[in-house]
Amino acid sequence: MHPLLRCLSTEEGVHVLHEIHRGCCGAHAGTWTLANKALRAGYFWPTMKQDAKYLVSKCKRCQKNSSLIHQPAELLTTMLSPCPFTQWGMDIVGPFPIASGQRKFLPVVIDYFTKWVETEPLARITEGEEWCQGLRIKQRFTIMAHPQSNGQVEVTNRILVQGIKRRLERVGGNWTKELTSVLLAYRTTPRGSTGEIPFSLVYGTEAIIPAELGTPSHRIMNFSEECNRDLLKENLDLIEELREKAFIRMQRYKITMINSYNKRVKARNFQVGDLVLRRADTLKLVGKLDPTWEGPYKITGIIGRGTYELEDLVWPSPAKALERP
């Protein structure tokens, strides 16, 4: 740093900041870096830090290419199903490598209470709308680019896809043959939220896994058909108690999750008429140099907590159309 700094007027200081920020050697630095660089170059004026902060906050390129905000802005909203098979989540995974019958899509449905999963490979995913209407099934659609709104199914999808990939030596069209094994593994694995395996919450008893057949377990070695029949009836009588315990565990699990999540919340509230940027559509991004944010958009309505209605503002292009010769 120079022992003597040149004092500038506000107008001269802003010009220097503009040159450092976006001039021929500028890289759109942040507030502290911008002010410090001007200071090290030998300049000073009383409001240099405030001017640097204002300049960076008004720079469109800095705004559209800034890092994503990972800190949540709203309190966590959870979904708790009161009993089995009353609330299902559904998602479609794919496309996978084409298997027999031209199947490349995998609809995944999961019961929010028991965590029981059903799925079936399909070639097309445009059928079934009339079937849902006939059975009076109410569908609630989530935004395709916002999977957090259907988080339970997204977690299940990740587990199933990882299981299929790990069972395959290479990615190919035989993924459908591994699906049954992956589903059995999922249904017989205890879930963290309930503390029970999905199979037990559905059928009221423990499932026999293939390992018990290769190396007989105690219940296989001492199997009695009559005793087994009586135990199955007894388990069915006690299944409601098992489900009640699972429901209590889910409540405790969600309370713990909410408390942990809400500690990181930093509220960001907007009003009607505010101009905002929105996270760029990941489906439109084609390279690493694409902007992180898109806009600006004008807020025209507040739908709910943290949910806004946006109007796309079409700004006039500075370029002029060339006349045909």
Which tens digit of pLDDT belongs to each residue from 171-183? 555 788 888 888 8
pLDDT band at 320 (very low <50, low <70, confident <90, very high): very low
Is the distance from CB of 267 to CB of 291 less than 8 angstroms? Answer: no
Average pLDDT, the chain: 80
Give the span between the Cα atoms of 228 and 206, in whole angstroms. Answer: 12
Residue 18's pLDDT is what? 83
Report the 10 Å Cβ neighbour count for 57: 10
pLDDT band at 226 (very low <50, low <70, confident <90, very high): confident
Q: Which residues lie closer than 8 Å to 79 by C-beta, 6 or more apart? A: 87, 112, 152
Is the distance from CB of 105 to CB of 91 less than 8 angstroms? Answer: no
Give the span between the Cα atoms of 235 and 19, in whole angstroms. Answer: 77
* CA terminus-to-terminus distance, the chain: 57
Closest CA to 244 of 88, 152, 114: 114
Give the span between the Cα atoms of 17 and 35, in whole angstroms. Answer: 8
List residues bridging with 310 in a β-sheet. Answer: 299
Residue 192's pLDDT is what? 87
58: left (phi over 0), alpha (psi -120 to 50) or beta: alpha
Percent residues over pLDDT 70 in the chain: 84
- CATH superfamily name and code, 88-260: Ribonuclease H-like superfamily/Ribonuclease H (3.30.420.10)
Which tens digit of pLDDT belongs to each residue from 241-300? 999 999 999 999 999 989 998 898 888 888 898 888 888 776 565 566 777 788 888 889
pLDDT band at 198 (very low <50, low <70, confident <90, very high): very high
Residue 232's pLDDT is what? 86
Element of type H or E holding 15: helix 10-22
Residue 28's pLDDT is what? 79
Give the span between the Cα atoms of 96 and 103, in whole angstroms. Answer: 8
- Give the residue extent of every domain in the chain: 6-58, 88-260, 269-325
Is the distance from CB of 181 to CB of 174 less than 8 angstroms? Answer: no
Give the span between the Cα atoms of 91 and 33, in whole angstroms. Answer: 45
Give the largest Cα separation in the chain, rounded: 98
The residue to which tokens 């199903």 are assigned:
81
Give the span between the Cα atoms of 152 and 192, in whole angstroms. Answer: 12
Residue 127's pLDDT is what? 62
Paired tokens of 172: 């190919």
